[in-house]
Amino acid sequence: MIAAPIRLLCDLIATPSVNPAFLPEGDPRTGEHRMAEHVQSAARAAGLEVATETVSGQRSNVLVRLSPPGKIQHRILLGPHLDTVGFPNLESQLVPKIRDSRVYGRGACDTKGCVASMLSALLRVARSGPRPAHTEIQFIGFVDEENEQLGSRHHAAHHDPVDLAIVGEPTRLQVVTAHKGDVWLRLRTTGRSAHGATPHLGRNAVHRMGRVVDLLETTYRKQLSRRSHPLLGSPTINVGAIRGGTQPNIVPDACTIDVDRRTLPGESEATVRRELRDLLRRAGVQAAFEPLRLAPCDPLETDPDLVWVQRLCRAAGRRRTVGVHFFCDAAPLAKAGTPSVVFGPGDIAQAHTADEWISIASLERGTDILERFLRMLP
Ligand SMILES: [Zn+2]
């Protein structure tokens, strides 16, 4: 018998899949492999094709495929991630609990609820009733969304684009076509050290940085607030960390800050660096830039009028699409050419919290919507 999404979700919560970035090396609760095995055995039991795709070391995306009876003319992808964060109070969160019409546990809403919904919908379609004549449906459980999105980046680099990717994240069953990007930068000012008793013989890097911080948090912030995107609002800047100097009696010769700049569609790390350089040059302040991330976290903007997006909106009973403030696997897939949206049961407000939960109504409704959507594909 095919597990209902709630039963499946409880099994998945009890299957730890903490991203290795969040626990000490070798902790037995890390890694996505147990989740992948669970997905595979549920899919195999329904007669679906199953494969894995090695991303790095022991970490593999899991792929489930439902082929159409006719010639494949289209492909769509359901793509939730398999990993979770690891804190707080992980042990108690690995025990699923059903209470007040909710399922509690680590990953309940982010994003094992989506895994359960998407897989259950696919299994229902595979099992009986109308199915698409010419559209191949792929379910891909991605590894590492919570850290560097290695799974979706790897997949996007090794496969041709498909007609639509629905990335599973808790969106309260709204269809998300836009999210901001995220640029992290380190800025460094340099000076000349001197004895604290003769500061005029040195050049104070912390003082220089003080001016940079002030410019970013006042002038630049105001500049950003004048830009606006219909679904995303304004871009933002946050100076999140500062380091400089060693002790009171030495003039500091270096200071760094780490900055988080949330970008709108059309902005990139290159455009952000350019405008920051201009800003500092106009103010007569010098700072060097260093990247803090290896892979870019680009903004997402998918055309809501695409026929595939419209089909999902219709199935979900939504007139319009929305934007969200969180980054996910949709952007790497979209960058490689697959129109991508984000959709799933649950509310991001409960993600990563100490008592993470998802409402059973949302989980069931999400499964129904996805089933309806899959059955209406050509
Ligand atoms: Zn997530």
| Cα–Cα distance, 31 to 13 (Å, whole number) | 14
Ligand 1 center–CA 328 separation, angstroms: 7
Ligand 1 center–CA 196 separation, angstroms: 49
Ligand 1 center–CA 68 separation, angstroms: 29
Q: Where are the domains of the chain?
A: 5-179+299-375, 181-291
Q: Is the pLDDT of residue 32 over 90?
A: yes
Q: How sure is the predictor about 291, in pLDDT bands with cuts at 50, 70 and 90?
A: confident
- Percent of the chain predicted with pLDDT > 90: 91
In CATH, the architecture of 181-291 is: 2-Layer Sandwich (3.30)
Residue 272's contacts (CB-CB under 8 Å, 6 or more residues apart) are 183, 185, 261, 263
Q: What is the mean pLDDT of residues 33-56?
A: 94
Ligand 1 center–CA 329 separation, angstroms: 8
Ligand 1 center–CA 350 separation, angstroms: 11
- Enumerate residues with CB within 5 Å of ligand 1 (an ion): 110-111, 169
Average pLDDT along the chain: 95
Q: Is the pLDDT of residue 20 over 80?
A: yes
User: Nearest-CA neighbor of 76 among 137, 32, 7, 13?
Assistant: 137
Ligand 1 center–CA 207 separation, angstroms: 40
Superfamily of 5-179+299-375 according to CATH: Zn peptidases (3.40.630.10)
The distance in angstroms from the start CA to the end CA of the chain is: 28
pLDDT of 90 reads 85
| Contact of 376 with 315, CB cutoff 8 Å | yes
Check residues 291 and 213 and name the one with the higher pLDDT.
213
Q: What is the mean pLDDT of residues 173-192?
A: 97
Q: Is the pLDDT of residue 1 over 80?
A: no
